[in-house]
Amino acid sequence: MGASATILCVDDEPSILFSTNAILARAGYEVLTAADADTGIELLKSRRIDLVLLDSLPGRDNLIVEARRASQAVKLLLCTGDPSKVDFPNVDAVVCKPIAPPDLLRLIAETLGSQNGVSRS
């Protein structure tokens, strides 16, 4: 999978969604956005998603479960301000916010290319 992958960004902060969308779209990814977990779940059910970039927000665990139900191939990258407070057995990578755009793009490329295991940045 290259830059043609479809990424679902789920974050409850509009400015984060806007900037992440711009960064990923400029890199060639197809980007879908959701401001809450329920909208993210609906998109997972209706679209082919390669990676979910997910903020630590209410409903996060339900979205992770639904992503795994939709496809074991969906990669999950969890963004959090404090990774020590997050249990991440069902995600493929964890990133500590804030993250510089080049680092985010590198981590996404690595996550899309990885077969298993959790990466932490």
> pLDDT tens across 33-91, in order?
999 888 998 998 899 999 999 887 766 777 777 777 777 688 988 888 776 666 666 78
Query: Tell me, what CATH number does 43's domain have?
Result: 3.40.50.2300
Whether residue 77 is contained in a domain is answered as yes
pLDDT 10s digits, 91-119: 888 888 888 999 999 999 998 985 444 44
Whether residue 61 is contained in a domain is answered as yes
Whether residue 54 is contained in a domain is answered as yes
Whether residue 63 is contained in a domain is answered as yes
Q: Are 99 and 69 in contact (CB under 8 A)?
A: no
Ranges of beta strands (E only) in 1-121 are 6-10, 30-34, 51-55, 75-80, 93-96, 119-120
| pTM for the structure as a whole | 0.83
Whether residue 1 is contained in a domain is answered as no
For residue 42, give its domain range.
6-120
Q: How many domains does the chain have?
A: 1
State yes or no: pLDDT of 1 exceeds 50: no
Whether residue 34 is contained in a domain is answered as yes
